[in-house]
Structure 1
Amino acid sequence: MEIRNNIRGFMIKNVKLKRKMAILLLLLFTVSNVVVQGAGAVKAEESSRDAIVRIAKEEIGNQEYEKDGIENWNKYSTDLGVDGNGYAWCAIFVYWVFKQAGLKQSVYKNVSNWMSVYYTYNETNGEKHVRGDGYYPVPGDLVVFDWKNGGNQFDHIGIVINYDGSTMTYIDGNSESSNGTVAEHTYSVNEETIYGYICPDYEDSEAALIKYEELKVDGTVFPEGNLEEGKPFSISGVVQSPSALTKVSVNIYNEAGEWMTGAESEAGGYSFDIHRLDNAISFGKLSAGNYRFVVYAENKGGDKKTLTDKNFSIGNIEGGAQQKKADIKEKIRENAIKLKLYGKKLEKIYTKNPVLIRCFFNEVLENPGFVRVCK
């Protein structure tokens, strides 16, 4: 009996010990996970681009301060240990976010140069694009501004966090419009002060960029039904591709298959908003009739695809046809009047020169140059 009780007591103690060990292991795992997933660290299954966007968002609202009579002091210059306090710190903020995301320095090179937007633009590994070259920003890209628009000055820089087909949202440090804070802004992608974009050479950037499984167009606004003659129409829609786009075109054809109006772009990137071609397509100049609206795209992967092929009409087609008939009748009437007048003139001429008139009637149907023949 005593032996049984001792065994039972040992088993109970052993169970309690296992529970304590399990709790201890759980605590250790939790603490280690907190360390790994601390501020700025890239989370499991999180791409570099996603990490950049997340970390930038977490800093919104942080503001610069004044120290010893010097403005522009900020946590980012202090954290990095660089002499950036007292200066504009938009580029320092971008560098700090990159560091927090754990990116290799090969992506952004020399820290001392990051106090200048110029060096930020030129020393970041990756593709560079200027506004209007057909490229559209991806979250995690950097946007560079030239406030003078054409002065080729790199005045400001921010981190792109969203693009919806027509507008771009970014986060910047040292935001002048927000009293020197980290702030979020939304601009049209056609905003003239945007100089261009940097696509940093993230190790996983290709996987992060290619988010589309097939070549398609999404959210298309295209002409359908019956449009009013003489009125403009605005198109939109984002062409999405699993590889870089090489061509996107929008064309309008009439019932006979004849090209009427359209535009084409070399595109570039993995998405393209067809609204960029809108100004080159003259819907308002199309006469009453039936038409086809066609969106076509090609990419580096070898895909060549008609993405949209829709029928639409313009104006009162039946009324338009009747008007054309009326126009023809009017022309016939006008010509009949002219012939009648010519007939009276010919009658007068005939009395004076019957040979010339006979020549006229003999030659007019066979030779339009009868005047020369009948001289």
Structure 2
Amino acid sequence: MKKHMAKFLVFLLMFGSLAIHIPALEVQAADQAEAIVAVAKSQLGVKERSSNSDDIFYNDWYYGRRVNNNGIAAKYAWCAVFVSWCADQAGIPASVIPKTANTTDMKNRLINSGGSSHLKGSGYAPRCGDIIFFGSNASQHVGIVKFSSGNTVYYIDGNNTQTNPHGVHDSSCSLSAGNLWGFVTPNYSNSAPEVSAPSIHVWMSDTGMGNVPSVYRTGTSYYLCYELIDTASGKRFNEVASANYTITETFYKPDGSTAFSYSYENSDNNWISHVPQEAGVYRGKVEITGDYIGDAEVSFEVKEHKVMLHSWFSESKMGESASVSKKGTTYYLCYEIIDDETGELTSDLDGQNYTVTETIYKPDGSVGGTHSYSNSLSNWIGFCLEDEGTYKGVVTFTLNDCSASSNTEITVAHTHSYTSKITKRATCADSGIKTFQCACGKKYTENIPKTGHVWDNGKVTKQATAVSEGVYTYTCISCGSRKTEKIPALALKPGENGIPTPPLNSNPAGKPEVPSDTDEKPNLPLDTDKRDDASGKEEGENLETGKVFQDFAGHAEYEVISVNGSEICVEYTESTDAKASVVRIPNTVTAKDGTVCKVTSIGKNAFKKNKKIKKVIVGNQVKSIDANAFYGCRNLTSVNLGKSLTSIGTNAFSGCTKLKSLTIPAKVKKIGSNAFYGCKDLKTLNIKTAKLTSKGLGRKAFKGISSRAVVQVPRGKVKAYQKLFRQKGLSRKVKLK
């Protein structure tokens, strides 16, 4: 008659630590002492699910639920629980070895149920199945004795601190050890059970007959391993018995279909392997047929690799990201393999054999450089960017049959070299134009101030008389324009009191006095220019805080916001060109009187709901963009922000639905609420500043940007910014790297 093995199920419980295999079987051995030792031996190597947590299935059995000490050491200490569990699995009743989590309680109940106690120093030689106790009144630790030899006792104990996480350990100590309390021999039954069939020990490993891995990933080979163990001796079954049997091992996919199966004849230990290609819960089953019938099963969850390949170009090895470089400069294509959840370098690939290949492509598509690294979580290659245009960096990660890639770009910007010529000469009355043009076709213009009239000393063109005013005429020596001044009538009639009439073309006083402010101003002819003094200087701008003036050449209006000595700062308040599609905010603007002013701000509502502009270039002097500056500019696709920018106001770019990419400069400290709200096409966002804080970043600042957007942040700020931006409304679908 065939002997039927008791079936038992082996669960592989994955909680981020070592897997745990739990045989739930009725053990039959020569006697109860050998049976409890056999069960204890089958548990060697089992560990807590996480380090120093007391989270282990023996406690699940004892408490009827899963427990965790949450950092409170020994809250659920389980050395006594382990002894109780082994006794239960060996079929030893609780009246012989009690079910308890307290070592002193276990010692007392063992003695009360007829067990024999042997204190340290009594000369007793401990035997197989004895229970060993440590600490005052057996209050510290407990284990199961295998045997003793000379002055040394050998035992198996749970919750052993020599493993990390704590686990089941093969231990020994001197019979005179300082913390040894002694031994209790339980009142084991003397009836010998029948000789049992072998037990099947089954587990999953990342090598043939190896250890249980801590995590399972797609694309990696795993091994379904088994051993047949004689429960009485703890030895391999074929060492103590002769039998005919067949072992069949089978891998099952998550959908229940068979992935692979193989059979062995009379082999008491072996394995088969399989490479999971999809995530899910797999099962491995080992069946024995022939003289013995039985099976055992293991399940394990396979997950996708939780790693992200991050690549960028930098001016230094593993330095900060850069998107624009100078021609002839060496830049570095860098990469990191990081955990998608924590943003830190991943530990998920420890012990894995993978390859990372970096390749740089020139603007013409040819390969500029390439190199491969083995098992390196971060590295770089350097390359001199000699051509103008966009270079592409491609980083490819390969692990077994799995692969991933990350692309990044850097542009060698064209350096403009301008030549200038006067395309309109300045005159006395009109300003001129100087045009600057680069070989690439780009050009811009500057105004040449009008020269102003240069007046001669003037002459009397009509003599004053006693009854009529005279005329004094000035002529511009540059253009010939004229202006006149009245000569007051003489107080006396000509010839009276011997005062002769002044001759024609003479100036009795050398030059007539300019009338005072209280005098009647002369009526000048229509073809003359108005002047505020005899020198011919035009009326000045009188620049002071709050003064508004127009730059006619730049089609813009400005307001003076500060005057500090010779430094005058102005704010760009609005465009006077309603049809402009490209707007350039200059570094400086020249007022009508020739004063050069710094443009340091873009005013509130400056371009609000402007449907014409498509591109904005902000000068490097601009430090702030005020609220609603570009609100609702629905056709705006490109914005270049200047390097001095520190503040972006509330709703500054809200509703710019066609804005596709943006770089936030390194000095920005404040981004107001809803600053980029609803920019639904914004897919590329390069944040160079590392100065943003919860106070500086407003609510919903980037809410509503594209869910497929990739946000690149400074190295070392990924984790902090990920938390900050999520708190401020950024979608969790948006990737930060």
TM-score range, shorter chain: 0.3 to 0.5
User: Which of the two has higher C-alpha Rg?
Assistant: 2
The structure whose RCO (Cα within 8 Å, separation 6+) is larger is 1
Q: How does the TM-score come out when normalised to structure 2?
A: 0.22
Q: How does the TM-score come out when normalised to structure 1?
A: 0.41
Structure with more of its chain in helix, by fraction: 1
